[in-house]
Amino acid sequence: MFQQRALVRPPSPRLAEGLLTHLERVPVDAQLATRQWADYRSALHDNGWETLLAPAADECPDGVFIEDTMVVYGDLAVITRPGAVSRRLELPGAELAIRTLGYRTARITDPGTLDGGDVLKHDRTVWVGIGGRTNTAGADQLARLLAPLGARVVPVTLTKVLHLKSAATALPDGTVLGHPDFVDDPAVFPHFLAVPEPEGAHVVSLNDGRLLISAAAPRTTEQLAALGYTMVPVDISEFEKLEGCVTCLSVRLRGV
């Protein structure tokens, strides 16, 4: 029996052409990426998450990073307006998938830009990274759309990585994990925990104290296990080459 649901989208045959901002391009093994994506999906599944497939977007190299297409809060899915124009082709299929699940939708509109990977939610606080992909107009629009649902948007400066959630994610108790080299100002988060590896800065909270984490972060895995979490490492090396992480490969439908 599943406790929650998550939207995922299969990797495009053009995955290796995915956009890069802060990393050098290195070859991507497409077959390995497909296996890693299946394992990622299994890890969600095995931990109580039903994974639902959004329509494939084979023409979109970055389509597998479906989290960037929407921000889901309560019964509302805010369809984003990605800062990279080429990624806007990913939106229609993602919107169709979330509408089919019964969510209300709203949109970020010009001049706003917003990537879902820049949006970190915990309870009623929504931190939005303002940097390369998301602008202030996008964050303001999101704030107006989420205010009736009781959420408060807090803009934070982001200059050192692609997305806010490349740098920082939240534990179930609201502590924000991050790598000090990539978080511009840790003081914006009420409780900040520094982790030793950049790949360890992004975790997905599963159920019952379980955390999904990149297999490339063994020391962070140990650190979080010592705090009592059950760690679920997944190898996502081919997606990490494209600045992807465990968060951006799915949209978790938690209610908030």
Q: Which of residues 114-143 bind ligand GLY (CB under 6 A)?
A: none
- Residue 65, interface with ligand GLY (CB under 6 A)? yes
Q: Which of residues 172-231 bind ligand GLY (CB under 6 A)?
A: none
Long-range contacts of 129-133 (CB under 8 A, 24+ apart): 129/156, 129/157, 129/158, 129/163, 129/164, 129/165, 129/167, 130/155, 130/156, 130/157, 130/158, 131/157, 131/158, 131/159, 131/164, 132/21, 132/83, 132/158, 132/162, 133/82, 133/83, 133/84, 133/162, 133/163
CB of 244 to ligand GLY, least distance (A): 6
- Residue 30, interface with ligand GLY (CB under 6 A)? no
Binding mask 67-106 for ligand GLY (x = CB under 6 A): -----------------x----------------------
CA separation for the pair 130, 125 (Å, rounded):
16
| Complex with ligand GLY: residue 62 or 184, whichever CB lies closer | 62
What's the count of helices (H) and strands (E) in the chain, helices before strands? 6, 15
111 CB burial (10 A radius; 0-12, 13-18, 19+)? exposed
60 is catalytic: no
CA separation for the pair 185, 102 (Å, rounded):
38
| Complex with ligand GLY: residue 22 or 144, whichever CB lies closer | 22
CB of 249 to ligand GLY, least distance (A): 11
* CB-based contact 122:170 (threshold 8 Å): yes
245 is catalytic: no
- Which span (6-14, 49-57, 198-206, 240-248) binds ligand GLY, by CB under 6 A? 240-248
Given candidates 4, 5, 17, 19, which one binds ligand GLY under the rule CB under 6 A? 19
CA separation for the pair 247, 68 (Å, rounded):
10
- Residue 243, interface with ligand GLY (CB under 6 A)? yes
CB of 242 to ligand GLY, least distance (A): 4
Which of 122, 163, 179, 202 is an active site residue?
163
- Residue 62, interface with ligand GLY (CB under 6 A)? yes
Binding site for ligand GLY (CB under 6 A): 18-19, 21, 62, 65, 84, 162, 242-244
Residues annotated as part of the active site: 163, 248
